[in-house]
Amino acid sequence: MPVKTKIQREIIAWFWVGLAFLLINGTIGQARVIPSGSMEKTLLIGDHLIMSRIGYDAGVPFTNWHVSLWRNPKRQQVIIFKPPFAPDTPDYVKRVIGLPGDSIDIHDGAVWVNGQRLVETYTTGASEPYEMHLPYKVPADCYFVMGDNRGNSYDSRWWGCVPRKDIIGTPVIIYMSLNVGEDPWQPGQIRERFFAYANVILHPGTVRWKRIFQTF
């Protein structure tokens, strides 16, 4: 086979590989890592997730261009979204508390939805309203979200609801979890992240083995 033909076939093969990657990354699933403790005890710092975008969102990888699809999140479902107040920052992970049209109130350390106390077995700490004006009615096509670690979560209590167009998916499974602190998972910390992964070889105890393959 001529060398030119081999090169052409190689280029075509890599083109299809790249196209498949973009399709999967843009419409099916992506990986995420938890950088803060706002979702403890459900999600820990250093948890590595596979996120499903199926039915929620489709977009062009490595860009901010995306479009919402037909699925909508349910109450108490964990979602991943672009923070509406800073869309160019890393995605947020929170839990849906209020659906469009719901009335939200927070008192006595608990959340009340449409006059009924919400049963929450996943939270850490009491729920406080902080500076919210209550009761709060969730606008149309919007979702009220909170972190499970109620005393350490920057969520809808501070900056309002999440528009449906900013929701991009939901976590499916934890495929890795490393107990190495917050620094490696902050934006731009490439060196620290590399050392965190390399450290696993010498110190496998930093892996939270029991969390691997937990599903949502």
31, 33, 72, 167, 215 from 68: Cα distances, Å? 19, 22, 9, 8, 24
CA distance 176 to 26: 22
Q: Check if 94 is active-site.
A: yes
Bridge partners, residue 106, by sequence = 111
Place of tokens 């959340």: 111
Contacts for 52 with CB less than 8 Å, ≥ 6 apart? 28, 29, 169, 170, 171, 172
CA distance 58 to 121: 32
- Pick the catalytic residue from 52, 68, 82, 94: 94
- Pick the catalytic residue from 36, 38, 52, 177: 38
Contact call for residues 211 and 43 (beta carbons, < 8 A): no
CA distance 28 to 53: 5
Bridge partners, residue 192, by sequence = none
Place of tokens 């108490």: 76
Catalytic residue positions, numbered: 38, 94
